[in-house]
Structure 1
Amino acid sequence: MFPAPSRKGTVPFRGHRTWYRITGDLSSGLTPLVVAHGGPGSTHDYLLRLTEFAADGRPVIHYDQLGNGGSTHLPDHGADFWTVGLFLDELDNLLSQLGVADDYLLFGQSWGGMLGAAHAARRPAGLRGLVIANSPASMVLWRQECERLKDEMPAPHREALRRHGATGDFDHPEYTRAVYAFYGRHMCRADPLPREVGATLLELQSDPTVYSTMNGPNDFHVIGTLRDWSLIESLPRIEVPVLVISGRYDEATPLTVQPFLDHVPDVRWELFEESSHMPHVEEPARFDAVLARWLDERQRDGRRGAATA
């Protein structure tokens, strides 16, 4: 279904292993696109459509963040281990180990977009551009907007979410049905659910360590360590061009992405009218066109920069 990887394996990180997958040739001369998945606690699988951008020669690098997928699982590690700093350092290590740290583009989806923004705010020398896809700039805003979205659910689902959420009975069948109804409206509206999205959900269920520690029981009941995390103060430090992507029905509502537009110096926003949290599978044709145009612009910028250096 997707292009076969030209290379895959793991790199060492603090005594553990980070799994990666490369589609295309790193020596092609085109700036590689590094893909950071969401969660925290998901896997790369649901973003495999981005391998199609390797068809024109651009290498695409997926990886599973520590604790997930093909990377080392550490179910006995607690909240003091699973930190934003850990995942920022892991990304730096991956870029260095794969030899792309001096020239790369970064695509981050959901939590991966927040991670990407925090990475960009450190002003890494080799970063040429950043895509922030379906990501809030602040988990406080995310939680606030999720409360509003829950209030807009049909009454039976809304009441189930409130009642069982208040008691912590997250395994109750009524609560589970309401969660899936929320996700069908605001996480992925594609029907049937793409196989690669299902693969990530199964991986997440098999080891929820990272997700439950940092986020909570589901996307809209955030009680983990990220519940008050905000990027807003660091956004003016981002120097590279940024493309913000979100969907009309997204969990990451316009209010949650507005700080990116207000504070990132070089930013563009694309709103996908028929999508929720995954435009790459909900509106694939338009998504491909938008991202292809942005990638081409970054490549032209790179050539101009080399010519004037």
Structure 2
Amino acid sequence: MNIQSTVMSEGFALNVSIRGNGRPILVVGSSIYYPRLFSEQLYTSFQLIFLDHRGFVKPPRTLEPEEYTLDKVLDDIEAARQTLELEDFIILGHSGHAFMALEYAKKYPEHVRKVVLLNTAPTNSPERQQQSFAFFNETACPERKRQFEADIALLEGDIQREPERRFAHMCIRMGAHSFYDYAYDAAWMWEGVFTNMPVIDHLWGEAFARLNLIDSLKEVAKPVLIGLGRYDYLVSPVSLWNAINGSQANVKKAIFEKSGHNPMFEEPDLFNAILTDWIDETDN
């Protein structure tokens, strides 16, 4: 199955890309970017529903700040759930979208069966971001550091050329922080992806900085899988999650030893196996 559709919410045209057959997994983020990260094999067991949010679609008007709060995004997800008639589904959030997924499960728990949080730190506060940079500087190999210095030197020119794509360019030039293969060029992943920078700046810079996922997990009784990459310097170190140590029976943590920020792309077979086994185990 491969279906493209659109959900309207307060004038925003949120695109939906549905791939595969089986138990539904709602993937919050860009309907263009995220299908490029998951392997075709996963679509034989699950139906992945890739949903845009306001940060990845052209706005229908000049937006006021109250139109791109996190609560508005959560309400958009709920509008999509109703339109798509999802009654019993898994919600998956990767990177900053993990905050959206968990907060949605808190605000609208009725139809959420499980929650998957991938490659995120517990908070996106400036202090945590500085901690991640410090960890990179202290522990990354010299070759990785040289690659990062060469790539990041190109970022200013990228932004001057296409300021509206600042988020995408930053993600591309941070490849040495993002991939186990520190020289990997992820530019193709971002081709055709629209970024609404006022929305993204607010969510990543303010909303996610005020949240702490470890605290939020205490309010969620659903089964939760946390997936982390050992070489994911964007949200490093994995020890930020040491408080998740098995004391919460509903929360499982998996660390991918040869992945950076995208284990579903970098270690697809292992990722698929861990995700599938966890879903099967928590169904019993």
Give the TM-score band, short-chain normalised: 0.7 to 0.9
Partner of 2:98: 113
Q: Could you tell me how far 1:150 is from its partner in structure 2?
A: 5.0
Q: Could you tell me how far 1:229 is from its partner in structure 2?
A: 1.8
Residue identity matched to 2:112: L
The correspondence for 1:245, drawn from 216, 219, 227, is 227
1:235 aligns with 2:224: no
Partner of 1:89: 75
Query: Secondary structure of 1:138's match?
Result: coil
Identity in percent: 21
The correspondence for 2:54, drawn from 66, 73, 77, is 66
On the 8 A contact 2:31/2:50 being kept in 1, the answer is: no
Q: Could you tell me how far 1:255 is from its partner in structure 2?
A: 3.5
Q: Where do residues 210-221 of structure 1 align in structure 2 (5 Å cutoff)?
A: 210-215=199-204
| CA gap 1:228/1:124 in 2 versus in 1, 3 angstroms | same
1:10 aligns with 2:6: yes
| CA gap 1:74/1:212 in 2 versus in 1, 3 angstroms | farther
| CA gap 1:205/1:269 in 2 versus in 1, 3 angstroms | same
Q: Could you tell me how far 1:115 is from its partner in structure 2?
A: 1.1
| CA gap 1:108/1:157 in 2 versus in 1, 3 angstroms | closer
CA distance in 2, matches of 1:227, 1:204: 22
The correspondence for 1:187, drawn from 166, 178, 203, is 178
Query: Secondary structure of 1:108's match?
Result: strand
Give the alignment's TM-score, normalised by structure 1.
0.72
Q: Could you tell me how far 1:99 is from its partner in structure 2?
A: 0.4
Partner of 1:46: 34
Q: Could you tell me how far 1:203 is from its partner in structure 2?
A: 4.1
Give the alignment's TM-score, normalised by structure 2.
0.77
Q: Where do residues 257-296 of structure 1 align in structure 2 (5 Å cutoff)?
A: 257-259=241-243, 265-296=249-280
Partner of 1:32: 24
Unaligned runs of 5+ in 2: none
Partner of 1:23: 19
| CA gap 1:186/1:126 in 2 versus in 1, 3 angstroms | same
Q: Could you tell me how far 1:296 is from its partner in structure 2?
A: 2.4
1:258-290 alpha-carbon deviations (Å, 9 max, x no partner): 455588551111101111111111111211111
1:215-248 alpha-carbon deviations (Å, 9 max, x no partner): 3xxxxxxxx3236321343321111111110011
| CA gap 1:79/1:155 in 2 versus in 1, 3 angstroms | farther
CA distance in 2, matches of 1:103, 1:113: 19
Partner of 1:219: none
Residue identity matched to 1:187: S
Residue identity matched to 1:201: W
Q: Could you tell me how far 1:213 is from its partner in structure 2?
A: 4.0
Query: Secondary structure of 2:68's match?
Result: coil
Unaligned runs of 5+ in 1: 216-223, 302-309
CA distance in 1, matches of 2:52, 2:12: 12
CA distance in 2, matches of 1:130, 1:285: 20
Partner of 1:77: 63
Report how many aligned residue pairs link the two structures.
268
Query: Secondary structure of 2:207's match?
Result: coil
Q: Could you tell me how far 1:34 is from its partner in structure 2?
A: 0.9
1:171-194 alpha-carbon deviations (Å, 9 max, x no partner): 599xx9xx6897233212347747
Query: Secondary structure of 1:131's match?
Result: strand
CA distance in 1, matches of 2:223, 2:258: 25
Residue identity matched to 1:61: I
Please tell me the root mean square deviation across aligned C-alpha atoms, in Å. 3.7
| CA gap 1:150/1:205 in 2 versus in 1, 3 angstroms | farther
CA distance in 2, matches of 1:262, 1:230: 22
On the 8 A contact 1:82/1:210 being kept in 2, the answer is: yes
| CA gap 1:229/1:44 in 2 versus in 1, 3 angstroms | farther
